[in-house]
Structure 1
């Protein structure tokens, strides 16, 4: 799986529900060029959870906890110190560990924009599978144009789990999802859109992408 070096920078995020805006300074990191595929997932875990089958399709119907477990398992297989310590519903994150992890929301949005300031890094039909062009099913990764940093499918195809809690005071353990999916309208496929779900939730338009600290 190709990992892209992402430079240090700054991301400004916003939440429409609360009208809140915040800025995050980011260290350099690495992000996978495309979402984890079904072949990737099966090689690491031996499982085939996806509803729509295809080795080069993004793995879907995976929960946040499934994604965290995948990160740790692949790290162990490559003799890397895992980024996460799992203890029931509690997950501790070691930001200095070299193992695989999920991107933070700020990392994800910063990488998606790739230096742009617009909601999308190109014309939507050129860069994303969404309701109007997907035929209402996911597609192979990498078929749509990449952004300026070489990242494919940041918008559309499948929503992607991020590390962050969405709003713990209101939604407890719910985690952030980014990017929009194959069944979403065009307004959901924008860099700044954020969605939330319970960490055990799994559905056929949700997958994930790997990150590593630099």
Structure 2
């Protein structure tokens, strides 16, 4: 399958999603406005074209970019927006450990975790949008390595690799009272067991964290 994720932004309809956190036993419902999401995680070729950088451990143009921090991801979003003549979504202040999101901006950004889970589920209510081996690269079938984007089946809205291959950075803080500036990761990765590759699973990490199974995908609000 010849895929260029630069030209593949998929429409995600508005909806409502119920999120939960196993640690706190808390559940909450979020409304999600319509948006467009990249059909695949940002690839190494796309990342290099925008930033000139090659941070990944495994090399391949069509592999998801990995070894990128949350700060790297939001920086990419702003750089991509400027290249496209759009208003950057973020004001970044790494020295103070903070960033502000201009919700009126028409540029590229990271999904919120509510947007991510709503998009992942694509109207389904189970733990996954299909059979795990059909939709995801995980420990049971990855051969202990990352794989090119777009080789597994999409969900009902045309999004691929939402589960497995690489975790996706999301915009949200995980739990500021307990974990401070840690941000949310979603989706599971190529080295994870099957129980981590579910639509509801939440993981967290420091925004400077880089590892070989964490990447990201981009979205634009519907007004953009």
TM-score (norm 1): 0.99
Match status 1:171 vs 2:179: yes
Could you tell me which residue of structure 2 aligns to residue 147 of structure 1?
155
- For the aligned residue pairs, the C-alpha RMSD in angstroms reads 0.5
Q: How far 1:76 sits from its partner (Å)?
A: 0.6
Could you tell me which residue of structure 2 aligns to residue 27 of structure 1?
33
Aligned residues: 214
Structure 2: stretches of 5+ with no match in the other structure = 1-5
Q: How far 1:172 sits from its partner (Å)?
A: 0.2
**Cα shift readout 1:49-93 (whole Å, capped 9, x = no counterpart):** 000111000000000000000000010111100000012221000
Q: Structure 1 residue aligned with 2:130, among 94, 98, 122?
A: 122
Structure 1: stretches of 5+ with no match in the other structure = none
Match status 1:187 vs 2:195: yes
Q: How far 1:213 sits from its partner (Å)?
A: 0.5
Could you tell me which residue of structure 2 aligns to residue 76 of structure 1?
82
**Cα shift readout 1:159-206 (whole Å, capped 9, x = no counterpart):** 000000000000000000000000000000000000000000000000
Q: Structure 1 CA distance, aligned partners of 2:32 and 2:116?
A: 11
Could you tell me which residue of structure 2 aligns to residue 17 of structure 1?
23
User: Counterparts in 2 of 1:89-128, with a 5 A limit?
Assistant: 89-128=97-136
After superposing on structure 2, the runs of 4+ consecutive aligned residues of structure 1 that deviate more than 2 Å are: none
Report the more deviating stretch, 82-91 or 148-157.
82-91
Could you tell me which residue of structure 1 aligns to residue 64 of structure 2?
58
Query: What SS class does the counterpart of residue 88 from structure 2 fall into?
Result: coil
Query: What SS class does the counterpart of residue 62 from structure 1 fall into?
Result: coil
Could you tell me which residue of structure 2 aligns to residue 196 of structure 1?
204
Q: Structure 1 CA distance, aligned partners of 2:154 and 2:13?
A: 17
Q: Structure 1 residue aligned with 2:12, among 6, 9, 19?
A: 6
TM-score (norm 2): 0.95
Query: What SS class does the counterpart of residue 44 from structure 1 fall into?
Result: helix
Could you tell me which residue of structure 1 aligns to residue 46 of structure 2?
40
